[in-house]
Structure 1
Amino acid sequence: MTVLYAKQRGVGLVELMVAMVLSLFLLAGLFTIFFSTRQSYDTQQDLSRLHDNQRLAATMLAQTVQQAGYFPNPTTFTRAEAFPSNATFATAGQIVFGGNVTSEALAIRFVAPAAGGHMLNCQGGSANGATTDIYRIDYDSNIKANVLECSANGAAFQPLVNRVNTMQVLFGVDTNSNGSADRYMNAATVTANKAWANVKSVSLRLVFDNPLNKPQAAPGQPATIAMPIVVNLMSAPNNQ
């Protein structure tokens, strides 16, 4: 009996090369999808951090800066008596001050109740009695970026919000004695007009680093994003 064997044929070089090329195309597609998804995720995380920083800055500044000018028992003491002049506040009754410390800085002061109060200083601690908060922008070598930081009653400056490039400060001044701000001035102009006792509000413009301003992001993104904040002060216009 004759046994017939089927003739087997191996994979040729051409077929192998075609299979490798197809596999490389499939892998390239998978890597493209992976990197695109990862880039979208990183972008969303960066935007979330930016929004968190903006909300934190707005909340903290609004809650603490508006306390400027508050003092207990306004029927017993005038504002000038509650806020005497000192090295930072040149005029009695002055509750805010601005100047340049690396970037523009803002100093505010208030008098918290001696006991049983719920007022906080800019570092989140309970305020007790005369309190001065100073805000400024400074460079943080750990994250290699500017940060918004504050000092409460002369304590060391502590970082509050990361990646705040600059802070611009204007003061709303009551120039016609009607109890409301009708003109915004920078610190030098307020000093020149001797109008610190008439400041009723503070306009802050925080400029944040834009996390989308990077080569892999969409082109045309600005380097920074500005956020304006206007805070009314707890001043006592009839007790100066």
Structure 2
Amino acid sequence: MSAAQNRARQAGVTLIELMVAMAISLLIVLIAASAVVASKQGFMTVDAGAQLRDNTRFAVDLVQQVSVQAGYLDVAFATAAASPNAPASTIDAPITGFNNALVPANGSDPISGLASNSRTAAAGGCSDAADTACANGSDVLVLRYQSAEGLAGSGQSDQTMINCAGVPQTAAPATAQTRIVSIFHVARTEGGEPSLMCTTQDASGNWTTEPVVRGVEGFQVLYGVDAVTANAAPTGTPDSVTDTYLRADQIVVPGDAAATNANWRRVRSLRIGLLVRGPRNSVQDRAGAMQPYYVLGQAASSTGDTGAIFTPSDDGRLRQVATTTIHLRNPQGG
């Protein structure tokens, strides 16, 4: 046999060489697949983070914009209220609230439903302990104000005032007692996702509730009060400067509705805390995501207030806390 024929029979790949090549190829595929999975997870985290920040920013802006309207009166009624001979107001204060509470079902009067129970979850404020608003101890914020008549005598507003859903109010106030009522609270939507909800009343007196920001599972409110002691009737002369921050249940004077109303009229600012979550598996560090979240900030969150400190389960969700302080523009009547 010639040397050329021998070399021809030995040309090709041996079994060992083939197995080595397959092993190297498989390793390359695994590395490439891992890179694709990591890139996809990173993209999902970045996308979820961007959406989370947008939702949080929108929620904070909406609560701020509606809250600063509290106590606003149309110029005609504001002038009358400023008269030294005007009687003391007996209507509800521009700002009220409920601690760890659940707004009644859609269509019913939420104010009466909440006021008929204790203002804390333990005594009935949360009738359904499985609801997000109760499980996370979320609060209820009630804001009252008027719209402004665009042209005197027209009966139409200038549509500069909005409700908690961001909808401009078209009707001008008919009397000094006419108020727009906007209620912020947390509840589950039909899909089971907790959301910041808006409950409003239309011109016919019908109440409607709708979600405004998806993924809000914590809503905490502290009220900056002027010359108010927790659960006591107001004393002293207010100076329109916030002295301390209290929960809604601390502003209540048990058995004294007039004193409670007077305390609410001494609210000068609001401290708002929001806890917003993203979709499942949107976080890469699952262990780190199970840390405690201080919804009002670590300094202002009290272990005695359910929901102010929230530790999530291992659901792989990205979360963000946002806190803001809102100084009220309009006199609250106290």
Q: TM-score, normalised by structure 2?
A: 0.62
2:195 equivalent to 1:147:
yes
Partner in structure 2 of residue 163 of structure 1? 215
What corresponds to 1:96 in structure 2? 95
Cα drift, residue 11 of structure 1: 2.3
5+ unaligned residues in a row in structure 1: which ranges? none
The correspondence for 2:327, drawn from 232, 236, 239, is 232
Equivalent runs, 1:52-201 vs 2, <5 Å? 52-73=54-75, 74-78=78-82, 85=91, 89=92, 94-99=93-98, 100-101=101-102, 102=133, 103-114=138-149, 115-127=157-169, 128=171, 129=173, 130-142=179-191, 144-153=192-201, 154-175=206-227, 176-192=237-253, 194=260, 195-201=263-269
Cα deviation code 1:137-166 (max 9, x no counterpart): 001241x33110101225321111111111
Amino acid of the structure 1 residue aligned with 2:331: A
Tell me which amino acid in the other structure corresponds to 2:8. K
C-alpha distance in 2, partners of 1:152/1:82?
A: 27
Structure 2: which amino acid aligns with 1:34? V
CA RMSD of aligned residues (A): 2.7
Distance 1:227 1:50 in 2: 11
1:7 maps to amino acid: A
C-alpha distance in 2 between matches for 1:215 and 1:197: 43
Matched residues in 2 for 1:173 and 1:207: separation?
24
> Gapped runs of 5+ residues in structure 2?
103-132, 150-156, 174-178, 228-236, 254-258, 292-311, 313-318
Specify the SS of the correspondent of 2:81.
Answer: coil
Q: Quick check: 206-215 or 32-41, which moved more?
A: 206-215
Residues 82 and 204 of structure 1: CA distance in aligned 2, closer, same or farther (over 3 Å): farther
Does the CA-based 8 Å contact 2:95-2:142 persist in structure 1?
A: yes
Q: Which residue number corresponds to residue 29 of structure 1?
A: 31
C-alpha contact (below 8 Å) 2:163/2:180 kept by paired residues: yes
1:9-48 equivalences under 5 Å are: 9-48=11-50
Question: How big is the shift at 1:216?
Answer: 4.3
Q: Closer, same or farther in 2 for the Cα pair 1:121/1:214, shift >3 Å? A: closer
259, 275, 280: which one aligns with 1:207:
275
- Partners of 2:45 and 2:283 within 8 A in 1: no
CA-to-aligned-CA distance 1:30-49 (integer Å, 9 cap, x gap): 11111111111111011111
Shift of 1:52: 0.5
Which is higher, the Rg of structure 1 or of structure 2? 1
Partners of 2:41 and 2:250 lie apart in 1 by: 47
C-alpha distance in structure 2 between counterparts of 1:81 and 1:125, whole Å:
33
Seen in structure 2, the aligned counterparts of structure 1 residues 46 and 188 have a Cα distance that, compared at 3 Å, is same
Q: Measured at CA, do residues 117 and 210 of structure 1 come closer, stay the same or move farther in structure 2, by a change above 3 Å?
A: closer
CA pair 56-83 structure 1, distance change in 2 beyond 3 A: farther
Q: Structure 1 counterpart of 2:251, which letter?
A: V
User: 1-side partners of 2:87 and 2:31: how far apart?
Assistant: 74
Write the letter of the residue equivalent to 1:121.
Answer: N
8 A Cα contact 2:45 2:284, kept in partner? no
Structure 1 residue ranges, 4+ long, deviating more than 4 angstroms after superposition: 78-84, 210-216
- How many residues matched? 229
Q: Report the CA distance shift for 1:184/1:215 in structure 2 as closer, same or farther (over 3 A).
A: closer
User: Is the Cα–Cα contact under 8 Å of residues 164 and 200 in structure 2 kept in the other structure?
Assistant: yes
Distance in 1, matches of 2:273 and 2:41, equals 30
**Structure (1/2) with the larger strand percentage:** 1
CA drift of 1:77 comes to 2.5
